[in-house]
Amino acid sequence: MTTTHIVKSQLIDGKLTPAETTFPSHNPATGALLGHAPDATTADAETAIAAARRAFDTTDWSTNRELRLRCLRRLRTALDEHREELRELTIAEAGAPRRLTHGPQLDEPIGLVTYYADLLESYEFTEDLGDKESRGQRHHRWVEKEPAGVVAAILPYNFPNQLALAKLAPALAAGCTVVLKGAPQTPLTTLALGELIAEHTDIPPGVVNVLSSSRAEVGEVLTTHPDVDLVTFTGATATGSRIMAAASVSVKRVFLELGGKSAMIVLEDADFTKAAMFAAFTICSHSGQGCALTSRLLVPRAHHDRIVQLVAAGMERVRVGDPSDPKTAMGPLISEQQRDKVDAMVRRAVEAGATLVRGGRRIDPGWFYEPTLLAGVDPDSEIAQEEVFGPVLAVIPYDDEDDAVRIANHSRYGLSGAVHSADDERAIRLARRIRTGTFSINGGNYFSPDVPFGGYKQSGIGRESGRSGFEEFLEEKALARVVLPEEAAS
Protein backbone atom coordinates (compact mmCIF):
# COMPACT_ATOMS: atom_id res chain seq x y z
CA MET A 1 0.00 0.00 0.00
CA THR A 2 1.33 3.43 -0.90
CA THR A 3 1.50 5.89 1.98
CA THR A 4 0.88 9.01 -0.10
CA HIS A 5 -2.25 10.44 -1.67
CA ILE A 6 -4.54 7.70 -0.38
CA VAL A 7 -8.21 8.14 -1.20
CA LYS A 8 -10.82 6.14 0.71
CA SER A 9 -14.58 5.68 0.48
CA GLN A 10 -17.25 5.50 3.16
CA LEU A 11 -19.22 2.32 3.77
CA ILE A 12 -22.96 3.02 3.76
CA ASP A 13 -25.58 0.29 3.44
CA GLY A 14 -23.09 -2.22 2.08
CA LYS A 15 -21.64 0.05 -0.60
CA LEU A 16 -18.33 1.90 -0.70
CA THR A 17 -19.41 5.45 -1.41
CA PRO A 18 -17.19 8.45 -2.18
CA ALA A 19 -18.40 11.77 -0.80
CA GLU A 20 -18.88 14.91 -2.86
CA THR A 21 -16.20 16.69 -0.84
CA THR A 22 -13.10 15.48 0.99
CA PHE A 23 -10.73 16.67 3.69
CA PRO A 24 -6.99 16.00 4.03
CA SER A 25 -5.17 13.64 6.33
CA HIS A 26 -1.49 14.32 7.10
CA ASN A 27 1.46 12.24 8.19
CA PRO A 28 2.33 13.65 11.64
CA ALA A 29 5.94 12.50 11.36
CA THR A 30 6.56 14.74 8.36
CA GLY A 31 3.56 17.06 8.10
CA ALA A 32 3.16 15.90 4.49
CA LEU A 33 -0.20 15.20 2.90
CA LEU A 34 -1.05 11.52 3.25
CA GLY A 35 -4.41 11.36 1.52
CA HIS A 36 -8.01 12.47 1.41
CA ALA A 37 -11.07 11.18 3.22
CA PRO A 38 -14.76 11.72 2.43
CA ASP A 39 -16.20 14.64 4.37
CA ALA A 40 -19.55 13.16 5.32
CA THR A 41 -22.57 15.42 5.58
CA THR A 42 -25.52 15.18 7.91
CA ALA A 43 -27.42 13.60 5.02
CA ASP A 44 -24.76 10.86 4.81
CA ALA A 45 -25.11 10.26 8.54
CA GLU A 46 -28.88 10.02 8.27
CA THR A 47 -28.59 7.57 5.37
CA ALA A 48 -26.19 5.41 7.37
CA ILE A 49 -28.47 5.44 10.41
CA ALA A 50 -31.46 4.50 8.24
CA ALA A 51 -29.46 1.57 6.81
CA ALA A 52 -28.50 0.38 10.28
CA ARG A 53 -32.10 0.71 11.46
CA ARG A 54 -33.42 -1.30 8.52
CA ALA A 55 -30.78 -4.01 9.00
CA PHE A 56 -31.68 -4.32 12.67
CA ASP A 57 -35.46 -4.19 12.29
CA THR A 58 -36.08 -6.18 9.09
CA THR A 59 -33.33 -8.80 8.85
CA ASP A 60 -32.39 -11.72 11.08
CA TRP A 61 -29.00 -10.24 12.02
CA SER A 62 -30.08 -9.60 15.63
CA THR A 63 -31.34 -13.16 16.14
CA ASN A 64 -29.09 -15.29 13.93
CA ARG A 65 -26.19 -16.28 16.14
CA GLU A 66 -24.62 -18.53 13.50
CA LEU A 67 -24.59 -15.74 10.93
CA ARG A 68 -22.94 -13.33 13.34
CA LEU A 69 -20.40 -15.93 14.37
CA ARG A 70 -19.52 -16.70 10.76
CA CYS A 71 -19.15 -13.00 9.93
CA LEU A 72 -16.90 -12.33 12.93
CA ARG A 73 -14.65 -15.28 12.03
CA ARG A 74 -14.40 -14.00 8.46
CA LEU A 75 -13.62 -10.49 9.69
CA ARG A 76 -10.75 -11.89 11.73
CA THR A 77 -9.42 -13.66 8.64
CA ALA A 78 -9.67 -10.47 6.58
CA LEU A 79 -7.80 -8.51 9.23
CA ASP A 80 -5.07 -11.13 9.27
CA GLU A 81 -4.79 -11.12 5.49
CA HIS A 82 -4.46 -7.33 5.35
CA ARG A 83 -2.58 -6.85 8.60
CA GLU A 84 0.57 -5.42 7.02
CA GLU A 85 -1.37 -2.90 4.93
CA LEU A 86 -3.15 -1.75 8.08
CA ARG A 87 0.16 -1.61 9.93
CA GLU A 88 1.76 0.74 7.39
CA LEU A 89 -1.32 2.95 7.28
CA THR A 90 -1.51 3.18 11.08
CA ILE A 91 2.16 4.12 11.29
CA ALA A 92 1.77 6.76 8.58
CA GLU A 93 -1.49 8.33 9.77
CA ALA A 94 -1.47 7.95 13.56
CA GLY A 95 2.30 8.34 13.92
CA ALA A 96 2.34 5.11 15.91
CA PRO A 97 5.80 3.57 16.29
CA ARG A 98 6.10 0.30 14.39
CA ARG A 99 6.84 -1.61 17.57
CA LEU A 100 3.57 -0.36 19.07
CA THR A 101 1.60 -1.79 16.13
CA HIS A 102 2.79 -5.21 17.22
CA GLY A 103 0.93 -4.54 20.47
CA PRO A 104 -2.03 -2.26 21.29
CA GLN A 105 -2.07 -0.32 18.02
CA LEU A 106 -2.96 -3.29 15.79
CA ASP A 107 -2.02 -6.88 16.59
CA GLU A 108 -3.68 -7.02 20.01
CA PRO A 109 -6.90 -5.31 18.81
CA ILE A 110 -7.28 -7.92 16.06
CA GLY A 111 -7.48 -10.45 18.88
CA LEU A 112 -10.64 -8.71 20.11
CA VAL A 113 -12.55 -10.14 17.14
CA THR A 114 -11.62 -13.70 18.06
CA TYR A 115 -12.36 -13.07 21.74
CA TYR A 116 -15.90 -11.89 21.01
CA ALA A 117 -16.54 -14.62 18.45
CA ASP A 118 -15.57 -17.19 21.07
CA LEU A 119 -17.73 -15.47 23.68
CA LEU A 120 -20.70 -15.38 21.30
CA GLU A 121 -20.33 -19.09 20.65
CA SER A 122 -20.72 -19.97 24.34
CA TYR A 123 -22.76 -17.09 25.76
CA GLU A 124 -26.10 -17.91 27.42
CA PHE A 125 -28.64 -15.32 26.29
CA THR A 126 -31.33 -16.81 28.57
CA GLU A 127 -31.21 -17.16 32.36
CA ASP A 128 -33.82 -19.36 34.04
CA LEU A 129 -35.03 -18.01 37.41
CA GLY A 130 -37.28 -20.95 38.22
CA ASP A 131 -40.83 -20.95 39.62
CA LYS A 132 -42.39 -18.77 42.28
CA GLU A 133 -45.74 -19.08 44.06
CA SER A 134 -47.79 -15.87 43.91
CA ARG A 135 -51.50 -15.14 44.30
CA GLY A 136 -52.39 -18.80 44.45
CA GLN A 137 -50.57 -19.69 41.23
CA ARG A 138 -47.17 -20.87 40.20
CA HIS A 139 -45.21 -18.56 37.88
CA HIS A 140 -42.19 -19.48 35.82
CA ARG A 141 -39.70 -16.60 35.33
CA TRP A 142 -36.72 -16.13 33.08
CA VAL A 143 -34.53 -13.37 31.65
CA GLU A 144 -33.60 -13.00 27.99
CA LYS A 145 -30.78 -10.79 26.78
CA GLU A 146 -31.33 -8.98 23.51
CA PRO A 147 -29.22 -6.60 21.40
CA ALA A 148 -29.58 -2.92 22.28
CA GLY A 149 -30.29 -1.90 18.67
CA VAL A 150 -28.59 0.68 16.48
CA VAL A 151 -25.23 1.82 17.85
CA ALA A 152 -23.46 5.09 17.04
CA ALA A 153 -19.75 4.60 17.73
CA ILE A 154 -17.50 7.68 17.71
CA LEU A 155 -13.72 7.32 17.81
CA PRO A 156 -10.71 9.46 18.81
CA TYR A 157 -7.43 9.50 16.93
CA ASN A 158 -4.94 7.93 19.29
CA PHE A 159 -5.62 4.18 18.89
CA PRO A 160 -7.88 3.97 15.83
CA ASN A 161 -7.77 0.18 15.36
CA GLN A 162 -8.04 -0.70 19.04
CA LEU A 163 -10.97 1.58 19.66
CA ALA A 164 -12.84 0.70 16.47
CA LEU A 165 -12.63 -3.04 17.11
CA ALA A 166 -13.30 -2.70 20.85
CA LYS A 167 -16.64 -1.15 19.93
CA LEU A 168 -17.44 -2.97 16.71
CA ALA A 169 -16.65 -6.58 17.65
CA PRO A 170 -18.81 -6.80 20.81
CA ALA A 171 -21.63 -4.79 19.23
CA LEU A 172 -21.78 -7.17 16.26
CA ALA A 173 -21.49 -10.22 18.50
CA ALA A 174 -24.43 -8.93 20.55
CA GLY A 175 -26.56 -8.51 17.42
CA CYS A 176 -26.47 -4.73 17.12
CA THR A 177 -25.98 -2.75 13.93
CA VAL A 178 -23.41 0.03 13.89
CA VAL A 179 -22.59 3.44 12.45
CA LEU A 180 -18.89 3.96 13.11
CA LYS A 181 -17.38 7.44 12.76
CA GLY A 182 -13.61 7.73 12.55
CA ALA A 183 -11.64 10.59 14.06
CA PRO A 184 -10.97 13.49 11.68
CA GLN A 185 -7.21 13.16 12.40
CA THR A 186 -7.08 9.44 11.47
CA PRO A 187 -9.97 8.85 9.04
CA LEU A 188 -8.09 6.70 6.53
CA THR A 189 -7.28 3.97 9.06
CA THR A 190 -10.93 3.61 10.09
CA LEU A 191 -12.16 3.75 6.49
CA ALA A 192 -9.73 0.94 5.64
CA LEU A 193 -11.63 -1.22 8.13
CA GLY A 194 -14.85 -0.38 6.29
CA GLU A 195 -13.27 -1.43 3.00
CA LEU A 196 -12.27 -4.79 4.47
CA ILE A 197 -15.81 -5.36 5.72
CA ALA A 198 -17.32 -4.48 2.34
CA GLU A 199 -14.90 -6.43 0.17
CA HIS A 200 -13.78 -9.37 2.29
CA THR A 201 -16.60 -10.36 4.67
CA ASP A 202 -20.21 -11.52 4.47
CA ILE A 203 -21.51 -8.91 6.90
CA PRO A 204 -24.89 -7.93 5.40
CA PRO A 205 -25.59 -4.43 4.01
CA GLY A 206 -26.46 -1.88 6.69
CA VAL A 207 -25.07 -3.88 9.59
CA VAL A 208 -21.82 -1.86 9.60
CA ASN A 209 -21.57 1.67 8.23
CA VAL A 210 -18.30 3.61 8.40
CA LEU A 211 -18.15 7.39 8.06
CA SER A 212 -15.46 10.05 8.15
CA SER A 213 -16.13 13.75 8.59
CA SER A 214 -14.57 16.99 9.72
CA ARG A 215 -18.00 18.42 10.52
CA ALA A 216 -19.15 18.61 14.14
CA GLU A 217 -22.78 18.47 13.05
CA VAL A 218 -22.32 14.88 11.83
CA GLY A 219 -21.46 13.81 15.36
CA GLU A 220 -24.50 15.71 16.60
CA VAL A 221 -26.75 13.73 14.25
CA LEU A 222 -25.30 10.44 15.51
CA THR A 223 -25.85 11.36 19.16
CA THR A 224 -29.34 12.82 18.84
CA HIS A 225 -31.05 10.87 16.07
CA PRO A 226 -34.19 9.07 17.29
CA ASP A 227 -33.26 5.87 15.43
CA VAL A 228 -29.99 5.50 17.38
CA ASP A 229 -30.46 3.42 20.52
CA LEU A 230 -26.98 3.55 22.06
CA VAL A 231 -24.01 5.90 21.76
CA THR A 232 -20.49 4.72 22.54
CA PHE A 233 -17.81 7.38 22.56
CA THR A 234 -14.14 7.53 23.45
CA GLY A 235 -12.50 10.92 23.78
CA ALA A 236 -12.28 14.06 25.86
CA THR A 237 -14.42 14.40 28.98
CA ALA A 238 -15.81 17.76 27.83
CA THR A 239 -17.07 16.20 24.59
CA GLY A 240 -18.43 13.19 26.44
CA SER A 241 -20.36 15.47 28.75
CA ARG A 242 -21.97 17.17 25.76
CA ILE A 243 -22.84 13.82 24.22
CA MET A 244 -24.42 12.68 27.46
CA ALA A 245 -26.51 15.85 27.62
CA ALA A 246 -27.59 15.51 23.99
CA ALA A 247 -28.49 11.85 24.41
CA SER A 248 -30.54 12.60 27.51
CA VAL A 249 -33.22 14.31 25.43
CA SER A 250 -34.28 10.94 24.02
CA VAL A 251 -32.94 8.97 27.02
CA LYS A 252 -30.42 7.06 24.93
CA ARG A 253 -28.01 4.69 26.56
CA VAL A 254 -24.50 6.13 26.56
CA PHE A 255 -21.21 4.34 27.04
CA LEU A 256 -18.36 6.79 27.54
CA GLU A 257 -14.61 6.18 27.89
CA LEU A 258 -13.17 9.60 28.66
CA GLY A 259 -10.07 11.32 30.00
CA GLY A 260 -7.57 10.44 32.65
CA LYS A 261 -4.88 11.93 34.86
CA SER A 262 -3.55 8.74 36.34
CA ALA A 263 -0.98 8.55 39.14
CA MET A 264 1.92 6.15 39.57
CA ILE A 265 2.89 5.88 43.23
CA VAL A 266 6.44 4.88 44.14
CA LEU A 267 6.62 3.71 47.74
CA GLU A 268 9.79 4.16 49.78
CA ASP A 269 10.59 0.43 49.66
CA ALA A 270 10.40 0.21 45.86
CA ASP A 271 13.25 -0.40 43.44
CA PHE A 272 13.62 3.25 42.40
CA THR A 273 15.64 2.52 39.26
CA LYS A 274 13.08 0.05 37.93
CA ALA A 275 10.12 2.27 38.84
CA ALA A 276 11.74 5.36 37.30
CA MET A 277 12.46 3.54 34.03
CA PHE A 278 8.88 2.25 33.94
CA ALA A 279 7.53 5.77 34.50
CA ALA A 280 9.78 7.28 31.82
CA PHE A 281 8.89 4.83 29.09
CA THR A 282 5.19 4.73 30.02
CA ILE A 283 4.64 8.47 29.55
CA CYS A 284 6.50 8.33 26.21
CA SER A 285 4.33 5.49 24.88
CA HIS A 286 2.67 6.87 21.74
CA SER A 287 3.99 10.29 22.76
CA GLY A 288 1.78 10.33 25.84
CA GLN A 289 -1.37 10.14 23.73
CA GLY A 290 -3.12 7.56 25.87
CA CYS A 291 -5.91 8.28 28.32
CA ALA A 292 -4.75 5.61 30.82
CA LEU A 293 -1.05 6.54 30.84
CA THR A 294 0.30 7.53 34.25
CA SER A 295 1.12 11.21 33.77
CA ARG A 296 1.58 11.95 37.50
CA LEU A 297 4.48 10.35 39.37
CA LEU A 298 4.07 10.45 43.16
CA VAL A 299 7.33 9.95 45.05
CA PRO A 300 8.45 10.09 48.71
CA ARG A 301 9.51 13.64 49.49
CA ALA A 302 12.82 12.47 50.95
CA HIS A 303 13.70 10.68 47.71
CA HIS A 304 12.23 13.21 45.24
CA ASP A 305 15.51 14.47 43.77
CA ARG A 306 17.05 11.03 43.39
CA ILE A 307 14.01 9.59 41.60
CA VAL A 308 13.79 12.65 39.36
CA GLN A 309 17.38 12.05 38.26
CA LEU A 310 16.61 8.41 37.51
CA VAL A 311 13.51 9.32 35.47
CA ALA A 312 15.48 11.90 33.51
CA ALA A 313 18.10 9.28 32.74
CA GLY A 314 15.33 6.93 31.58
CA MET A 315 13.89 9.56 29.25
CA GLU A 316 17.33 10.05 27.72
CA ARG A 317 17.14 6.43 26.59
CA VAL A 318 13.81 6.90 24.77
CA ARG A 319 14.56 6.93 21.06
CA VAL A 320 12.43 9.59 19.35
CA GLY A 321 12.06 9.71 15.59
CA ASP A 322 10.64 8.10 12.48
CA PRO A 323 7.79 5.84 13.63
CA SER A 324 8.37 3.46 10.71
CA ASP A 325 11.82 2.60 12.11
CA PRO A 326 11.54 -0.56 14.29
CA LYS A 327 14.06 0.95 16.73
CA THR A 328 11.96 4.06 17.41
CA ALA A 329 10.29 4.13 20.82
CA MET A 330 8.38 7.42 20.47
CA GLY A 331 6.91 9.09 17.41
CA PRO A 332 5.19 12.43 16.87
CA LEU A 333 2.11 14.04 18.33
CA ILE A 334 -0.91 13.86 16.05
CA SER A 335 -0.96 17.50 14.89
CA GLU A 336 0.62 20.91 15.13
CA GLN A 337 -2.39 22.04 17.15
CA GLN A 338 -1.86 19.28 19.71
CA ARG A 339 1.85 20.07 19.96
CA ASP A 340 1.07 23.74 20.57
CA LYS A 341 -1.36 22.76 23.33
CA VAL A 342 1.23 20.52 25.04
CA ASP A 343 3.94 23.17 24.79
CA ALA A 344 1.65 25.87 26.22
CA MET A 345 0.77 23.66 29.22
CA VAL A 346 4.44 22.98 29.93
CA ARG A 347 5.24 26.70 29.80
CA ARG A 348 2.38 27.52 32.17
CA ALA A 349 3.54 24.79 34.56
CA VAL A 350 7.01 26.35 34.76
CA GLU A 351 5.48 29.78 35.30
CA ALA A 352 3.43 28.27 38.14
CA GLY A 353 6.55 27.01 39.91
CA ALA A 354 7.35 23.56 38.49
CA THR A 355 10.98 22.82 37.62
CA LEU A 356 11.66 21.84 34.00
CA VAL A 357 14.22 19.06 34.36
CA ARG A 358 14.43 18.07 30.71
CA GLY A 359 12.54 18.43 27.43
CA GLY A 360 9.97 21.13 26.82
CA ARG A 361 10.99 21.72 23.22
CA ARG A 362 9.54 21.06 19.78
CA ILE A 363 11.41 18.81 17.37
CA ASP A 364 11.12 19.50 13.63
CA PRO A 365 10.26 18.44 10.97
CA GLY A 366 6.93 16.86 11.79
CA TRP A 367 5.02 17.32 15.03
CA PHE A 368 7.43 15.89 17.57
CA TYR A 369 7.87 17.04 21.16
CA GLU A 370 10.69 16.07 23.47
CA PRO A 371 10.04 13.72 26.40
CA THR A 372 9.47 16.24 29.17
CA LEU A 373 9.97 15.98 32.92
CA LEU A 374 8.60 18.47 35.44
CA ALA A 375 9.63 18.19 39.10
CA GLY A 376 8.31 19.63 42.35
CA VAL A 377 4.82 19.93 40.90
CA ASP A 378 1.99 21.32 43.03
CA PRO A 379 -0.79 18.67 43.14
CA ASP A 380 -3.40 21.43 42.70
CA SER A 381 -1.78 22.97 39.62
CA GLU A 382 -3.08 22.75 36.08
CA ILE A 383 -0.35 20.35 34.95
CA ALA A 384 -1.28 17.98 37.80
CA GLN A 385 -5.04 18.19 37.25
CA GLU A 386 -5.63 18.52 33.50
CA GLU A 387 -5.00 15.93 30.81
CA VAL A 388 -2.02 16.92 28.64
CA PHE A 389 -2.05 14.10 26.06
CA GLY A 390 1.65 14.51 25.42
CA PRO A 391 4.97 13.07 26.68
CA VAL A 392 4.96 15.16 29.86
CA LEU A 393 5.47 13.64 33.31
CA ALA A 394 4.70 15.66 36.47
CA VAL A 395 6.59 14.53 39.58
CA ILE A 396 4.77 15.27 42.84
CA PRO A 397 6.32 14.67 46.27
CA TYR A 398 4.26 13.17 49.12
CA ASP A 399 4.84 12.88 52.87
CA ASP A 400 3.49 9.41 53.71
CA GLU A 401 1.32 6.67 52.26
CA ASP A 402 -1.94 8.32 53.28
CA ASP A 403 -0.78 11.54 51.65
CA ALA A 404 0.05 9.62 48.45
CA VAL A 405 -3.43 8.11 48.37
CA ARG A 406 -5.00 11.52 48.96
CA ILE A 407 -3.05 13.11 46.12
CA ALA A 408 -3.76 10.22 43.74
CA ASN A 409 -7.50 10.48 44.42
CA HIS A 410 -7.42 14.27 44.20
CA SER A 411 -8.60 14.32 40.60
CA ARG A 412 -11.87 14.56 38.73
CA TYR A 413 -10.65 11.56 36.75
CA GLY A 414 -10.43 7.94 37.81
CA LEU A 415 -9.26 5.87 34.86
CA SER A 416 -6.04 4.15 35.87
CA GLY A 417 -3.06 4.12 38.18
CA ALA A 418 -0.02 2.19 39.32
CA VAL A 419 2.06 1.43 42.39
CA HIS A 420 5.61 0.15 42.88
CA SER A 421 6.64 -1.52 46.13
CA ALA A 422 8.88 -4.36 47.29
CA ASP A 423 5.86 -5.73 49.19
CA ASP A 424 3.12 -7.05 46.87
CA GLU A 425 0.54 -7.26 49.65
CA ARG A 426 1.19 -3.67 50.67
CA ALA A 427 0.90 -2.60 47.04
CA ILE A 428 -2.42 -4.43 46.64
CA ARG A 429 -3.80 -2.79 49.80
CA LEU A 430 -2.86 0.62 48.42
CA ALA A 431 -4.34 -0.20 45.00
CA ARG A 432 -7.70 -0.90 46.62
CA ARG A 433 -7.72 2.61 48.10
CA ILE A 434 -7.35 4.33 44.72
CA ARG A 435 -10.63 5.15 42.97
CA THR A 436 -9.86 4.11 39.43
CA GLY A 437 -11.19 1.50 37.01
CA THR A 438 -7.81 -0.09 36.23
CA PHE A 439 -4.59 -0.40 38.20
CA SER A 440 -1.10 -1.79 37.64
CA ILE A 441 0.83 -3.34 40.52
CA ASN A 442 4.60 -3.53 40.10
CA GLY A 443 4.29 -3.34 36.32
CA GLY A 444 1.32 -5.68 35.97
CA ASN A 445 -0.42 -5.39 32.57
CA TYR A 446 -4.22 -5.41 32.75
CA PHE A 447 -4.76 -4.48 29.09
CA SER A 448 -6.21 -7.50 27.26
CA PRO A 449 -9.36 -8.44 25.29
CA ASP A 450 -10.78 -10.32 28.29
CA VAL A 451 -10.26 -7.52 30.85
CA PRO A 452 -12.89 -4.76 31.29
CA PHE A 453 -11.49 -1.27 30.75
CA GLY A 454 -13.04 1.98 31.96
CA GLY A 455 -13.03 4.48 34.75
CA TYR A 456 -14.62 6.11 37.77
CA LYS A 457 -15.79 9.69 38.11
CA GLN A 458 -15.32 11.83 34.99
CA SER A 459 -13.32 9.13 33.25
CA GLY A 460 -16.50 7.64 31.91
CA ILE A 461 -19.49 5.34 32.16
CA GLY A 462 -19.41 1.63 31.39
CA ARG A 463 -16.63 -0.78 30.46
CA GLU A 464 -14.95 -1.74 27.21
CA SER A 465 -13.50 -5.21 26.48
CA GLY A 466 -14.14 -8.36 28.44
CA ARG A 467 -17.54 -9.84 29.14
CA SER A 468 -18.63 -6.46 30.52
CA GLY A 469 -17.84 -4.84 27.18
CA PHE A 470 -20.11 -7.32 25.44
CA GLU A 471 -22.99 -6.84 27.85
CA GLU A 472 -22.88 -3.05 27.33
CA PHE A 473 -24.59 -3.80 24.00
CA LEU A 474 -27.37 -5.97 25.47
CA GLU A 475 -30.75 -5.24 27.00
CA GLU A 476 -32.38 -7.49 29.60
CA LYS A 477 -36.00 -8.57 29.30
CA ALA A 478 -37.72 -10.32 32.21
CA LEU A 479 -40.53 -12.72 31.29
CA ALA A 480 -42.97 -14.78 33.32
CA ARG A 481 -45.83 -17.16 32.56
CA VAL A 482 -48.36 -19.00 34.66
CA VAL A 483 -47.58 -22.70 35.10
CA LEU A 484 -50.72 -24.67 34.26
CA PRO A 485 -52.02 -27.21 36.82
CA GLU A 486 -51.25 -30.15 34.54
CA GLU A 487 -47.67 -28.92 34.12
CA ALA A 488 -47.26 -28.58 37.88
CA ALA A 489 -48.59 -32.11 38.39
CA SER A 490 -46.07 -33.54 35.96
Residues annotated catalytic, as ranges = 257
35-70 residues labelled b (16+ CB within 10 A) or e (exposed): bbbbbbbbebbebbbbbbbbbbeebebbeeeebbbe
Asked if residues 383 and 392 have their Cβ atoms less than 8 Å apart, the reply is yes
- Hey, what long-range contacts does 464-468 have (CB within 8 A, 24 or more apart)? 464/166, 464/167, 464/234, 464/255, 464/257, 465/112, 465/166, 467/119
Q: Measuring CA to CA, which residue among 351, 397, 395, 353 is closest to residue 372? A: 395
DSSP H helix total and E strand total for the chain? 17, 25
Single-letter residue type at 470: F
Dump the DSSP string for 377-408.
--TTSHHHHS---SSEEEEEEESSHHHHHHHH
DSSP single-letter state for residue 489: H
Residue length, the chain? 490
Q: What are phi and psi of 236, to 5 degrees?
A: -70, 145
Q: Among candidates 215, 109, 80, 82, which has minimal Cα distance to 167?
A: 109
Backbone φ and ψ for 411, nearest 5 degrees, come out as -160, 145
Query: Cβ(210)–Cβ(180) under 8 Å?
Result: yes
Measured CA to CA in angstroms, residue 272 lies from 241, 306, 397 at distances of 39, 9, 14
Do the strands 253-257 and 460-461 form a parallel or antiparallel pair, or are they unpaired?
A: antiparallel
Q: 480, 139 in Cβ contact below 8 A?
A: yes
8 Å CB contact between 65 and 290: no
Q: Taking the CA atoms of 408, 295, 417 and 156 in sequence, report the sign of the dihedral they define.
A: positive
Give Rg (Cα) of the chain: 24
- Cβ atoms of 284 and 358 within 8 Å: the answer is no
Q: Is the dihedral of CA 273, 279, 281, 282 positive or negative?
A: positive
Grouping H, G, I as helix, E, B as strand and the rest as coil, residue 453 is: strand
In angstroms, the CA 57 to CA 294 distance is: 44
